[in-house]
Structure 1
């Protein structure tokens, strides 16, 4: 089927979704993803049909700052201005938007992408793109655009901060969304018990990569973990050698076997994982830390202890396995978003991360253990 991709490229004020949110629309009216809370999708779908027919990208601006504005037939009350870039997907073109996004999935590391959403330059039309990764490989619509954006894309990767920037070329002004692209959270669960199942299911709903590992093959029954992307049997002494851990990996120890957790923790504490959660009470965690010192001669550093969450999860009064799964997944999300996990109603600042100069909204990124120009192990 013919399709179009809608991307939120700029938000000023309040909005349900931040820049980088995407929605893929087909010419039969079906879509996946979202660019708002459901209020803009219908109109975006109508405009996507025009884009598909014309085969020309366009930027659509929605002003939701006026509650009485009947532009969309409803008063949204979001109090924001949202720019949406809608691009046709032409399979015959080698560098259409889906191909670029796919390259980041196979790359599996942090990168940046630039999308032109306003242009007065005939040689750099709306929809022109440049892609960049931390190995300094840059690809794009034209050599001129690559040369213009290369350094700024490198800075986005280094600083881990997306940007909206204007450039002035010989043929006119262009406006570009410089987006930070990172892999999904990679959830690694040690322990194939019954309480690991709801954790894998919630992580799957969020689109995370989910792996379950245990040294007991009998625990790794596919019917128990239908939402896991990978199940791997690994003896505790070979974890460091056989289990892949990256700066995007969140590790959860929930085996209910103290000796197993001791061995695993001794091997993963020096990894690049920014989050290590340990199921169980504080006394159990204390026993694990004592074993690290006495048995494995490992004295955890302050940085390592900051990455370890024991007891695991947010304090939401969880008791059942499903409730505990919500607590665990919420804490991991808060960690990777650099948030405290408290009640939003008590937050004194804005809900979304903003540029103080223009009230521009960006998604906040947490990659504390990631070092640019270094491939993840």
Structure 2
């Protein structure tokens, strides 16, 4: 049995413990004698990112720790640059050394059941096991795994969970370091041996189909099911970065600051960080403008088409409307505001918890970045 482990090692440890409880429950329900479960923990492929791939080393290390502390019999670590293509010598060596350091230097395997009795681990493992057992029963009621796949019911449940997770990623409730949070526009690329070209795979064999689907199929009929395609959590943001990288010139957005440096810096940093997640570079006046007229002149000189106003709520009350009007008269196609304040001339508000992915897609459309 193999279980994917991501960078959240608390959940990873609980998943492994829950799997063993499920195995014991299955043997009990089937009236079979107790038998050991050979469990393999594999570092998750969906957590790996193409951009800032060096952060993947930390993700893989956390997943390897979860495998060792969670009691996996086998731990397999992926190369940090696997999302970019075929890992070369560095990627393979780091993956191998991560395991060796965890085993030989950290000696994680020498401690028997290190998380046993911990309230968080035990409670979460129980919750996961109970939820998984309920899912098993639901699949059985649908005629088994194969029948559930053919009917599309199982895929529907998976799709619902994926969509809910995608919304949280788009709003950065689930942050992706180096991609949706703290992205580096001028990062150092990781080496790869070759770019992988996905190859089509054959369908399920007749023997496999008979094992999955109960009862005979209609004579001569083909059994088809919607594929459960693998995903990567960062794919949507990476698509924006890829589009920005293909543009003849890096897209830019003007940061229109209000007030003193100490006043506008928090929201200006927020705007810079958010724009960089879409491959968009911030452009600012060399000296902070003192009024709307200076801001409009700086915007016109920047050559940008979109501006983001950044300041305090107090500054917005007295100056946001005038600045938005001045920016649009200077040629701004769209004016955004960092914060939730409302003012005439503001086309979009960006703030913590907003749909960042949608906002970046709008920015790309405004700036003429091709998909």
TM range (shorter): 0.3 to 0.5
User: Structure 2-normalised TM-score?
Assistant: 0.32
State the structure with more CA Rg: 2
Report the TM-score, using the length of structure 1 for normalisation: 0.32
Instruction: Kindly indicate which of the two structures has a greater share of residues assigned to strand.
Output: 1
Which gives a bigger RCO, structure 1 or 2 (Cα 8 Å, sep 6+)?
2
Q: Which has the higher helix share?
A: 2
